[in-house]
């Protein structure tokens, strides 16, 4: 049970590579300035990052990390958390990183997962299977965030396009896992492809279970 006055700040961010030291500094400054407690970073493009490199991202505020390595300079997921949490268990899959955490101030335990879903349709089916499998293993409160590379409806794309099959597969996963899509506030889209007339979509989101 959460204490009434306890607040935890989460964020998710497709950073599109953290190989540049200046970019890592910018990310670290944002996380510190925003007092983030748990962060999920997608498309890190880092493979086997050193503890020094992870410190350059999280600084003193987010000293703990679990990571999924990139493959051939593609993909890569990082999950970082503050000293307010102790790690009970971690699990790295093909497309996601899961951490089972104990929040010390509230004595609350929950699972947080960051995912970078693939764009390929067949791989997408594997991703939804993977997340459902993780859910079967780790029951209880769950926070799932990341770049899902698909939308829940054609309205979540500026051009109103998108594969109906992909949309239905994503919806089926959310329904089977009993998740709630937290609404986006202040904007309609989270991703833009730079063009004269940009193509925009809501690909990044937070999903939570009832608990």
On whether residue 101 sits in a domain, the answer given is yes
122 within domain boundaries: yes
The pLDDT, as a whole number, for residue 32 is 97
* Domains contained in the chain, number: 1
Report how far residue 191's alpha carbon sits from residue 202's, in angstroms, rounded to the nearest whole number.
6
| Gap between the Cα atoms of 5 and 19, Å rounded | 38
Judging by DSSP bridges, how do beta strands 77-81 and 64-68 pair with one another? antiparallel
| Selection from 211, 189, 208 nearest residue 14 by Cα | 189
5 occurs within a structural domain: no
> What pLDDT score does 196 carry?
75
Q: What is the CATH number of the domain that holds 22?
A: 3.60.10.10
Ordered DSSP codes for 175-210: HHTTEEEPPP-S-S-SEEE-SSS-EEE--EEEEEE-
Is the pLDDT at 195 greater than 80, yes or no? no
Residue with tokens 């009832």: 210
In a domain, 4, yes or no: no
- The pLDDT, as a whole number, for residue 3 is 55
pLDDT on residue 91: 96
- Contact predicate 177/132, CB 8 Å: yes
Say if CB 145 and CB 110 are below 8 A apart: no
Q: How many residues does the chain have?
A: 211
Residue 156 forms part of a structural domain: yes
* Distance between CA atoms of residues 201 and 184, nearest Å: 12
Burial 131-146 (b: 16+ CB within 10 A, else e): beebbeebeeebbbbb
Q: Which helix (H) or strand (E) holds 120?
A: none
Contact 99, 66 (CB under 8 A): yes
Q: Is residue 65 part of a domain?
A: yes
Range of the domain at 155: 10-209
User: What pLDDT shows up at residue 1?
Assistant: 47
- Alpha carbons 190 and 134: distance in angstroms, whole number: 26
- What pLDDT, on a 0 to 100 scale, did the predictor assign at position 52? 96
Return the higher-pLDDT residue of 171 and 194.
171
Q: Is residue 3 part of a domain?
A: no
Helix runs in the chain, H state only: 21-33, 51-58, 121-137, 164-176
Q: What is the pLDDT of residues 17-75, one digit of tens each?
A: 999 999 999 999 999 999 999 999 999 999 999 999 999 999 999 999 999 999 877 89
Res 82 pLDDT > 60? yes
What are the tens digits of pLDDT across the range 100-157? 999 999 999 999 999 999 988 889 999 999 999 998 888 899 999 999 999 999 999 9
């Amino acid at each position: 049970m959460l204490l009434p006055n306890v607040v935890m700040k989460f964020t998710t961010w497709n950073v599109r590579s953290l190989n540049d030291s200046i970019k890592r500094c910018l990310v670290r400054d944002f996380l510190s300035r925003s007092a983030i407690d748990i962060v999920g970073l997608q498309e890190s493009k880092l493979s086997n990052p050193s503890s020094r490199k992870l410190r350059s991202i999280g600084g003193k505020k987010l000293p703990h990390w679990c990571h999924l390595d990139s493959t051939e300079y593609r993909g890569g997921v990082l999950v970082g958390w503050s000293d307010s949490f102790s790690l009970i268990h971690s699990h790295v899959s093909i497309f996601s990183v899961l951490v089972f955490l104990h929040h010390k101030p509230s004595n609350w335990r929950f699972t947080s997962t960051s995912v970078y879903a693939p764009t390929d349709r067949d791989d997408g089916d594997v991703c939804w299977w993977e997340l459902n499998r993780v859910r079967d293993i780790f029951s209880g409160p769950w926070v799932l965030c990341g770049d899902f590379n698909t939308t829940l409806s054609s309205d979540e794309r500026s051009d109103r396009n998108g594969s109906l099959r992909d949309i239905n597969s994503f919806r089926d996963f959310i329904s089977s896992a009993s998740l709630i899509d937290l609404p986006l506030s202040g904007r309609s889209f989270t991703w833009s492809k730079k063009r004269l007339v940009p193509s925009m979509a809501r690909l990044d989101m937070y999903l939570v279970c009832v608990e």
